[in-house]
Amino acid sequence: MPQIVSKEYFAQTRFLFHCHFKVKIPRDYGEDLLNACFEIAEDIDLRYNSYQPDSFFSLINRNAGNWVDVDEDCVSLLKSLKLVSDLTAGCYDITCMPLIKLWGFYRKDNLTLPSFSDVQEVLKLVDYRKIEIDGCRVRIGVNQEIITGSFIKAFAVDKVIAFLKESGVTDAIVNAGGSSMRALNDVSHASWKINFSHPISNISERLTIQNESFSLSGKSNNHLIIRDKIYGHILNSNTGFPSATEQVGVVTSSAFLSDVLSTALHTVDSVDFVSVVESLSSHINFNYFRVEGDGRKFSDICF
């Protein structure tokens, strides 16, 4: 939970992006500003969420193999996402939706593991390099499908924060489901304190953010249990199998980047982790921690 301070706040929560999306601002600004924040978030949901039938990404998916007209934000998102895929050697790949479907994360009655041969066959469709960009046109390969779950709610967080800044707000927090949040701070409220649980010990941990973002990726809230074994929903798109990582946290300048990086660092095998962090750090300034399945922890000085 955020730090409690003496000033009074307005907060509003709505269900968007399959999560509870919360905006909290000082009461002085009034509830109309909160409503305007949610208009922005709802517009992002309709325009860019791959689960919305008329979004740009849904149109790209439905027209796989053909060019689709998009806007500049869509192009900017894709360029950033492709860079992260490059820097993780393809472990993170937004065209992994066919794999997610194969593993049965959209079936309530799934009790069987996919065969190795089925995984290898579906992996042929997973390749971010087949996302083509020509101006404001985008094309993916035939039968490919993009999923926006690793970044779209955080993109909305950034858009809401940008609007709040333009409106003169200097103290606020926008929290998308507890897994991606961004803070604004001023001299009257220097930081926000964020609590989260260790994935294995369940001990409460805390960090402080100040005019920055924090995202948390893990398998505790979204997984399959097949033959008494837990399989998380975050997949390594090179192997086609769920990551063995328990949890990753990232602090950086934008919610979009923290959300993408927390997912990307979750996908990478432990033997490659240090080199991938070095590659990402050469392009993006961030802090991180990662908890392995056996409880080992990688982290930088921030954690």
SS (HEC) of 185-222: CECCECCEEEEEECCCCCCEEEEEECCCEEEEEECCCC
Q: What whole-number distance in Å separates Cα of residue 287 and Cα of residue 285?
A: 7
Indicate the SS3 state at residue 256: helix
- Tell me how crowded residue 220 is: count the other CB atoms within 10 A of its CB: 14
Q: Under the phi-then-psi rule, with left for phi > 0, alpha for psi from -120 to 50, and beta for the rest, what region is 106?
A: alpha
Residue 1, domain member (yes or no): no
- Of all residues in the chain, what percent carry a pLDDT higher than 70? 92
Q: Is 60 exceeded by the pLDDT of residue 303? A: no
Q: For position 43, which CATH number holds?
A: 3.10.520.10
Provide the domain count of the chain.
1
Provide the mean pLDDT of the chain.
91
pTM of the entire predicted model: 0.91
Q: Contact 238/90 with Cβ under 8 angstroms?
A: yes
Residue 75, domain member (yes or no): yes
Residue 4, domain member (yes or no): no
What is residue 233's predicted lDDT score, i.e. its pLDDT?
Answer: 84
Cα angle: 295, vertex 154, 108; to 5 degrees: 65
Convert the pLDDT of each residue in 169-210 to its tens digit. 999 999 999 999 999 999 988 889 998 878 777 778 889 999
Q: What whole-number distance in Å separates Cα of residue 264 and Cα of residue 261?
A: 5
Q: What whole-number distance in Å separates Cα of residue 34 and Cα of residue 46?
A: 19
Residue written as token pair 């439905």: 62
Q: Give Cβ neighbours of residue 142 (< 8 Å, ≥ 6 apart).
A: 64, 65
* Residue in 127, 125, 138, 139 with CA at minimum distance from that of residue 76: 138
Residue 149, domain member (yes or no): yes
Q: Contact 148/50 with Cβ under 8 angstroms?
A: yes
* Residues found in the chain: 303
Span 48-69, average pLDDT: 98
What counts of helices (H) and strands (E) characterise the chain? 8, 17
Domain span holding position 170: 9-299
- Read off the pLDDT band of 4 (50, 70, 90): very low
Q: What whole-number distance in Å separates Cα of residue 53 and Cα of residue 157?
A: 21
Numbered residues of the known binding site for Mg(2+): 150, 259, 263
Convert the pLDDT of each residue in 136-160 to its tens digit. 999 999 999 999 999 999 999 999 9
Convert the pLDDT of each residue in 208-239 to its tens digit. 999 999 999 987 666 666 666 777 789 999 99
Q: Contact 149/48 with Cβ under 8 angstroms?
A: no
Q: Contact 234/205 with Cβ under 8 angstroms?
A: no
Residue 276, domain member (yes or no): yes
Numbered residues of the known binding site: 150, 259, 263
Q: Is 60 exceeded by the pLDDT of residue 2? A: no
Residue 3, domain member (yes or no): no
Q: Contact 148/176 with Cβ under 8 angstroms?
A: no
Residue 220, domain member (yes or no): yes
Residue 177, domain member (yes or no): yes
